[in-house]
Copies of this chain bind each other. A is one copy, B any other.
Amino acid sequence: MSGGVVEMINYKTLFSEDVACFRSSPIREVLKNVDISKIYSFSGGYPAPETFPLKSLNSLTQRVVDKYGDKTLQYGDTRGVPEFRKAIAERYDLDVEKVQITSSSQQGIDVCARILLNPGDVVLCENPCYLGALNSFYSYQAEVVGLDLSQSFEASQRRVEEVEKLLAEGKKIKFFYVIPDFQNPGGHTLSLAQRAEIVSLARRFGFLIVEDSPYREIRFEGEDVASIYSIAPDITLHLGSISKVFAPGLRLGWVIAEPELLNTIFVCKQSLDLCPNILSQYLALEFLESGELDKNLLESRKIYKRKRDKLESLLEKYLPEGSSWTQPQGGLFIFVTLPESLDVTALFPEAIKRGVAYVPGSYFFTDGSHRNTMRLSFSFIDEEKMETGMEILSKLLKENL
């Protein structure tokens, strides 16, 4: 090439090897040219907009400007605004050195992957699993192995055998990724026994746990189960987020872990984006410290419970016989299993055409199986629109039985 003139550049020859493993969200692909506001949407993992403290935003801004002045608009600490880090540490009753603020908890997932994964490394996860996490792991050329977490002696034996098989093949398992509370997409919550088993697997075979916990505070029924971090703080990276308790548009999350792990994340974050959004951190701090966050959370839980009740009653009324679904005690999602013959992955484009959206469950399985399942979100859609949406969906399903 030297000496010649390159007329047209072929970008592909310049891309890194990671790029070949990038996967775009299939949901975003299908919805790309769709005006989602015209659709009865049970698809996106969007929080209920009626829980947003939109009316307080101005007052929060005013107070933040008065209290912190210029600092609200300047660069800040890579670890996070000190007062905000401290407030989060206090909420978890932890030392501030164990808190790193991130630009969304998706960044928390990604930075864990970045500091831990080499090409070919294995991430274990529950099957099905949150798509944004899967795509992050794939993008580092990792192999993701989905495990069935059901509780029985045999299932537990099978899990140990699977792990041993991977190790026997010479593979390196770096961490177990898990959303223990109100899982995305499953909606279910892991029992204390299930959490303890993940911890014991990790200890036995020497890997870490990434505990993704964005929905934990949206519990509207039942009792809290101890977080994995609280059981095994030395081997767990716990991810939190303000997205479901304040506003996702502010893109703030945090990683809680041992300082030795956080120091590596801190250095990484310097080159990722220097520091998290400063204004958003002060707004979240003020929202938290004034007590508005907890007050808002009480209201939000009521809203989510009402919406879940409504959707459940509609599932009862409209889904074909032989369908079943999870009964979430919190979070945003219900996971539906339809009669075997129904391939709702194939039906997805037709559903969109008719004006109703769900997410095919197969998208969340590492092997693309379970094509008769779907994730329904009860959070974003207006309550008054739910029934019409379900009618459209029900008609489509029954036509294809």
Q: Given A9-B208, A11-B261, does the pair A54, B75 have CB atoms closer than 8 Å?
A: no
CB <8 Å contact, A110 and B271: yes
> Any chain B CB within 8 A of the CB of A356?
no
Chain B residues with CB under 8 A of A208: 9, 11, 14
Is A157's beta carbon under 8 Å from chain B?
no
Is A4 in the interface zone, CB < 8 Å from B?
yes
> A273 contacts B107, CB within 8 Å?
yes
Does A115 touch B at the CB level, under 8 Å?
Answer: yes
Q: Which residue of B lies closest to A164 (CB)?
A: B2
Across the interface, name the chain B residue whose C-beta is closest to A276: B251
Q: Roughly how many angstroms separate A321 CA and B277 CA in the complex, as a whole number?
A: 44
Report whether A205 and B1 are in contact in the complex, using a CB–CB cutoff of 8 Å: yes
Instruction: In the complex, identify which listed stretch (A17-25, A340-348, A361-369) lies at the interface while the others stay far away.
Output: A17-25
Contact of A106 among B4, B164, B235, B271 (CB under 8 A): B271
Per-position binary interface string of chain A over residues 104-126, scored 1 when its CB falls under 8 Å from any chain B CB and 0 otherwise: 10110110001111100100000
Q: Contact partner of A6 among B1, B69, B139, B204, CB < 8 A?
A: B204
Within 8 A of B (CB), among A39-93: 44, 46-47, 49, 52, 54, 57-58, 61-62, 65, 69-76, 78
- The answer on a CB contact under 8 Å between A24 and B76 is no
Report the nearest B residue to A49, measured CB to CB.
B70
Which of A262-270, A298-306, A329-337 lines the interface with chain B?
A262-270
Assuming the contacts A9-B235, A76-B249, asked whether A116 and B272 have C-beta atoms less than 8 A apart, the reply is no
Query: In this assembly, does A132 line the interface, its C-beta being within 8 Å of a C-beta of chain B?
Result: yes
Partner of A103, one of B57, B174, B251: B251
A273 / chain B contacts, CB cutoff of 8 Å: 103-104, 106-107, 110, 251
Q: Is the CB of B264 within 8 A of A19?
A: yes
Please tell me if A154 contacts chain B, counting CB pairs below 8 Å: no
Which residue of chain B lies nearest to A15 when distances are taken between CB atoms in the complex? B115
A167 within 8 A of B: yes
The reply to whether A54 and B28 contact each other, CB–CB distance below 8 Å, is: no
Q: Which of A253-299 contact B (CB under 8 A)?
A: 258, 260-261, 264, 266-268, 270-280
Chain B residues lying within 8 Å of A349, measured Cβ to Cβ, are: none
Given A16-B117, A271-B132, A277-B250, CB of A206 within 8 Å of CB of B73: no
The complex places the Cα of A279 from the Cα of B14 at a distance, in Å, of: 35
Asked if A247 is an interface residue, CB under 8 A from chain B, the answer is yes
Contacts of A115 in B (CB 8 A): 15-16, 18-19
Q: Which residue of B lies closest to A1 (CB)?
A: B206
For A103, list chain B residues within 8 Å (CB).
103, 251, 273, 277
A174 neighbours in B (Cβ, 8 Å): 14
Q: How far is the CA of A351 from the CA of B393 in the complex (A)?
A: 70
Once the chains bind, are A135 and B206 in contact (CB under 8 Å)?
A: no
A17 surroundings in chain B (CB, below 8 A): 118
Closest B residue by C-beta to A248: B75
With A70-B49, A208-B14, A251-B103 as known contacts, state yes or no: A139 contacts B57, CB within 8 Å: no
Q: Tell yes or no: A193 within 8 A of B by CB.
A: no
Q: Please list 30 pairs of residues, one from A and one from B, whose beta carbons are closer than 8 Å in the complex, sorted by A's number.
A: A1-B167, A1-B205, A9-B235, A15-B115, A16-B117, A18-B114, A18-B115, A19-B264, A19-B268, A22-B264, A24-B270, A28-B78, A49-B70, A52-B73, A52-B74, A57-B65, A57-B72, A58-B58, A58-B65, A74-B248, A104-B273, A106-B271, A106-B273, A106-B274, A107-B272, A109-B271, A110-B272, A136-B271, A247-B279, A277-B280
CB-based closest 7 A-B pairs: A249-B278, A73-B247, A136-B271, A49-B70, A73-B249, A52-B73, A6-B206
